[in-house]
Amino acid sequence: MSAKAYRAAGVDLEAADSMKENIVAFASLTHGPDVLKNGNSFAGLYRLSGYKKPVLISSTDGVGTKLKIASFLGHYESIGVDLVNLNVNDIITCGGKPLFFLDYISVGVLDPQVIEPLLRGMAWACRDSGTALIGGETAQAPGMYMGKNFDLAGTIVGVVEESDIIGNTNVVNGDVLLGLPSSGLHTNGYSLVRKVFDIDRNPKVLYERRDGLGHTLGEELLNTHRCYYRELASHYSRIKAIAHISGGGLIDNLPRVLPEGLACVVNLDTWEPSPIFSLIQSTGSVDSSEMYRVFNMGIGMVLIAEFRQAALLQKEIPDAIVIGQVIEQKDEKRVILNRV
C-alpha cells in the first residue's frame, strides 16, 4: 500500500514524521545525564545509579473523561500536566523518586494543535518533578475515534531504596492524618460532572461564570492535578503511610494504607472544600455520601504520621492540616466521616 493510499485510509505518515522532531525537542528538555542515547529509537534507556538495593516502582493511568472538557475548550496543555502528575503522585505513596515517564496517545486524526500542547504540558510537568520524558507512542487509529476525540495514558517508573519503602506496617492506633489540599477535582468524577452540568449536550455552559468560582466553569474544570512530590520528597522518613486521594475519594483510598484491625476518623470540619464541590452537589442534587465517594472533596493527599512527626510536618509543609486520626476498628467501617 502506498503512502497516498494509507493517507486515504486515514493514516498520514508524512504528518507523523514531521511531528517527530517536535516530540524529540519537548522530550529532550526533560533529559539529564542518566538518559542514554545510543541511536536506537525503539526504546528509551535510563542509567540507574546511587542505590544499594533499588526497588523499581511503576504506575499507569489516564485522565479519564476530563479529556472531553479539554476537547470542548480546545485547551490541552493542562491535560498533559495532569497525566504526568497523577502518575507521579501514585509512586509517591511508596516513598519513590520518579525516574522516567512514557506516554501513549491514540488519535483518529493527527492534529499538531492537539498533540503539541499535550506534549508541552507533559514536558512542563516532567521538568517540575525531575522526571525524564523518555519515550512514548502516538498512534493513528482512524475509525476508532470520532472528530477530535482521542485517548491517552501514561506510565511512570520510579525508584526507592528497599529499606526506605513506605507501606503501612508501622501505622498504629492514635497516629495522625494530615491532609494536603487538592487543586480542585484533579482527574476524577468527570463523568458525573458532565452529567450534572449537561456538558455533552450544551458545551457552552463551560464558558459560563458561576457564583464562587471567580472564573468560568471550564477554567475550573481544567485546573491541573496537583503534584506533591517536591513538597514531600525530603520528608519521607517522617511518614508512615501515604494515600493519594483519587477515584473513590477518602472513603475508598484511605483503607488501602490501613493495616487490618485499624480504621480512621476524618473530621470534615477541619477544612473547607473549594466552591466547585458544593456547586456540583447543589446543581446535581448529589447526596453527601456519594460526593465523598466520587470526589477528593478538597484533599488530594493524606499522610499518616506519629503525633510529634505530624507536628514537624505541619511546620515544614504550610498547607498541611490535621484532619483526623487512626483508631481501632470496631465494626466493618474503615473510614468514619465526622462533623463536630
pLDDT of 13 above 60: no
Between 144 and 182, whose confidence is greater? Answer: 182
3-state secondary structure of 119: helix
Task: Give tens-digit pLDDT for 174-225.
Answer: 999 999 999 999 999 999 999 999 999 999 999 999 988 989 999 999 999 9
Helix (H) or strand (E) holding 183: none
Q: How many other CB atoms are there within 10 angstroms of residue 168's CB atom?
A: 17
Question: What structural domains does the chain harbor?
Answer: 3-164 (3.30.1330.10), 176-338 (3.90.650.10)
The set of cell numbers assigned to 257 is 494504607
- CA dist 94 and 88 (Å) reads 11
Which residue from 285, 245, 234, 195 is spatially nearest to 95, judged by alpha carbons? 234
- According to the model, what pLDDT value does residue 148 have? 74
What would the mean pLDDT of 135-158 be, rounded to a whole number? 85
Model confidence band, residue 33 (pLDDT cutoffs 50, 70, 90)? confident
pLDDT of 159 above 50: yes
Edge-to-edge strand ranges of the sheet holding 150-161: 54-61, 150-161, 97-107, 132-140
- CA dist 118 and 67 (Å) reads 11
Task: Give tens-digit pLDDT for 42-92.
Answer: 788 888 988 999 999 999 999 999 999 999 999 999 999 999 999 999 999
This prediction's pTM: 0.91
φ/ψ of residue 41, rounded to 5: -100, 5
Quickly list DSSP for 131-156. Answer: -EEEEEEEEE-BTTB-TT-EEEEEEE
Pairing mode, if any, of strands 45-46 and 35-36? antiparallel
What is the sign of the dihedral through the CA atoms of 295, 301, 306 and 312? Answer: negative
